Amino acid sequence: MQVYKAPLNDMKFLFKDFLYDGGFDIIFQNSDFEFSDLDLILDQAARFCEEELLPINQTGDGEGCSYERGQVITPTGFKEAYEKYVSNGWQSATLDKKYGGSGLPYVLGVFLDEMMSSSNMSFGNFPGLTTNAFAAIEKSASEELKDLYLPKLATGEWSGTMNLTEPQCGTDLGLTRTMALPQDDDSYRITGTKIFITGGEHDLSENIIHLVLAKTPGAPKGIKGISLFLVPKIIPNPDGSLDKNNGVECGSIEDKMGIKASPTCVMRYNDAKGWLVGELHKGMSAMFVMMNGARLMVGVQGLGMTEIAYQSALFYAKDRLQGRHPGGAKHPDKPADPILVHPDVRKNLLKIKSLSEGVRGLIALTAAQVDVARLEKDKLKKQKAEDWVALMTPIIKAYGTDIGSESANLAVQIYGG
């Protein structure tokens, strides 16, 4: 039995008592968000995750994505859930109002990401990557590209991906072989293969916007020669309507141990049309906007796993009857006590709970600093916030996932009782 209730009390405490009362009132500037809206927004987000995403989590993992002739079909219920997600405005919640977003604080979006990670991590990968692709395009792309692509990404009509890895290069992106040939119309022709691309192909959105690292002819060796390109699955017209298929093909999807409802794709770019994002040969710095958002998201996913591991193990520990408390029966009317009364079980549960609360606080603080860096006019305060985010992002990614793994292991031990 799947059990999950969003930890709303903890989230509201962090927002109201830890952040708002802790001097982060700047978060509420330049936004239609009112502090009084907090409870309603979090409650509605929790309801969506508990009622729409949780029920299709286990079935989605069992069914998985299917691949047929270059097309990827997501599991039963995912398309309907995605339509509700975008129609309810969750995709656009934290995005810039200039492009159709709601302009809500980034930290609020992080709480939503945690709920999605706990209730259905596979589903959460789709909107999470779109949000981060939006950020990279907003930061570095031309005004023409931003005006054409960002409104569609904000509504969720189009989704986004991140294309870095190739068969011969993972960590060492300087070995990238994907090529981008310049054209007379300021576009490029992209040719190459990318692997392990989350959400590279699916049936949830009408178009998929790929951010692709590639090299141009004569580019410097190593990462100094990498540029970033925007490559749509379907080339749009200037008015945003869809024109014709680009040379983008999904060659296959990976057979994975988990998150099977999230397709991990081999993507082939066959003379596909793309546009430069940012400066030529400065692709790594442009892509790092998306990468850093994704790193934070991975840490949040680890937290989400920690939370649902705790709730599931606690539910089982209350229900499973085995043995008696060392000090005597706690439930003499039953054939045995719930294993929750045993000290070692309680120790493990308390450890998982303490890990989740600590990391949730760290993530909330760092997400609030993202908001400060975006809104603050004082250069010194802005730089201080940016430095905090730069320092904590890799720590959150590493430690958040570490505690997710450790907590899942501890929860499994409880299930063995």
**Where do you find CATH 1.20.140.10 in the chain?**
286-415
**CA 10 → CA 19, 114, 116, distances in Å?**
12, 12, 16
Give the long-range contacts of residues 244-248, CB within 8 A, separation 24 or more. Answer: 246/272, 246/273, 247/190, 247/271, 247/272, 247/273, 248/208, 248/210, 248/272
**Where do you find CATH 1.10.540.10 in the chain?**
8-140
Q: In a 3-state reduction of DSSP, which class is residue 321?
A: strand
Give dist(CA 25, CA 283) in Å, integer: 35
- pLDDT at position 200: 98
Phi, psi for 155 (deg, rounded to 5): -80, -15
Q: Which fold has domain 158-281?
A: Butyryl-CoA Dehydrogenase, subunit A; domain 2 (2.40.110)
Give dist(CA 267, CA 198) in Å, integer: 10
> pLDDT tens track of the chain, all 417 residues?
789 999 999 999 998 888 877 778 888 765 666 777 889 999 999 999 999 999 999 999 999 999 999 999 999 999 999 999 999 999 999 999 999 999 999 999 999 999 999 999 999 999 999 999 999 999 999 999 999 999 999 999 999 999 999 999 998 999 999 999 999 999 999 999 999 999 999 999 999 999 999 999 999 999 999 999 999 999 999 999 998 999 999 999 999 999 999 999 999 999 999 999 999 999 999 999 999 999 999 999 999 999 999 999 999 999 999 999 988 888 899 999 999 999 999 999 999 999 999 999 999 999 999 999 999 999 999 999 999 999 999 999 999 999 999 999 999 999 987
Q: Tell me the one-letter amino acid at 171.
A: T
DSSP code of 338? B
CATH number, span 286-415: 1.20.140.10
Phi, psi for 113 (deg, rounded to 5): -60, -40
Question: pTM of the full predicted structure?
Answer: 0.94
347's tokens: 């120790």
- pLDDT at position 36: 77
Q: H helices of 88-243, where?
A: 106-140, 143-155
Pairing of strands 234-236, 242-245: antiparallel
The superfamily CATH assigns to domain 8-140 is Acyl-CoA dehydrogenase/oxidase, N-terminal domain (1.10.540.10)
Give dist(CA 360, CA 408) in Å, integer: 17
User: Which residues have a Cβ under 8 Å from the Cβ of 184 and sit 6 or more positions away?
Assistant: none
User: Which residues have a Cβ under 8 Å from the Cβ of 138 and sit 6 or more positions away?
Assistant: 96, 99, 146, 150
Q: In a 3-state reduction of DSSP, which class is residue 259?
A: coil
Pairing of strands 71-73, 158-163: unpaired
**CA 67 → CA 56, 79, 162, 258, 318, distances in Å?**
19, 16, 20, 17, 41
- pLDDT at position 30: 56
**Where do you find CATH 2.40.110.20 in the chain?**
158-281
Give dist(CA 129, CA 289) in Å, integer: 12
Of the candidates 332, 196, 322, the one whose C-alpha atom is nearest the C-alpha of residue 265 is 196
